[in-house]
Amino acid sequence: MKLNYFTKRLSTVGRFLATTLLCVSAMFLFFSNTAAMANPAINLVATADAGDRVKDKTNEDAGRAKNFIRDTADKVERTAKKNAKKVEQSTDGNGSFVERKAKRDAARIERRAEEDAARTQKAVDNTKNAVKGTVDKVKDAFNN
């Protein structure tokens, strides 16, 4: 039950970060230099510069999001191991059914945390690449 709750929360955080990153990047690109709209030559330079800043910010934010995801997965894995160890200590390490079940559960939680983290990090990368692609298309449209 708790693993399912964690995966839903991690998925929600990943989607929230990806959506926020996309929206902030789009707003930044749109409102970056409205004064340059009067002069097309300045506009091209401003668009290229704003596009580069959006790309840099996208890389930075994606890196932060991926670090957060990795840290969260590591904390879940440590907690699963710690809980399995507590069960082992409470049963005096005699290999009882409860102890074996706790170890299986811990292994499953660790595996799922890794899978969920990898899936969420991939979603962050996909969002980052989509933002970069959009920025490149906008820059190309202004350069033509």
Whole-number pLDDT of residue 27: 63
Q: Which residues contact 100 (CB under 8 A, 6 or more apart)?
A: none
In this prediction the pTM is 0.61
Closest alpha carbon to 73 in 7, 127, 128: 7
Helix H or strand E segment including 123 = helix 97-143
Distance from the Cα of residue 71 to its chain's centroid: 11
- What pLDDT does residue 34 have? 54
DSSP assigned state of 92: T
Q: Is residue 32 over pLDDT 70?
A: no
Q: What is the DSSP letter of 32?
A: S
Please write the tens of the pLDDT for every residue from 75-128: 999 998 998 888 888 887 777 888 888 889 989 989 999 999 999 889 888 888
What the block records as the tokens of 33 is 């230099």
- Residue 35 confidence (pLDDT) above 60: no
Place of tokens 């945390």: 113
Q: Quick one: tokens of 45?
A: 């330079």
For the chain, domain boundaries: 60-136
Tens of pLDDT, residues 37-71 = 555 544 545 556 777 788 888 888 888 888 888 99
Looking at the predicted structure, is the pLDDT value of residue 23 above 80? no
Q: Is the pLDDT of residue 138 over 70?
A: yes
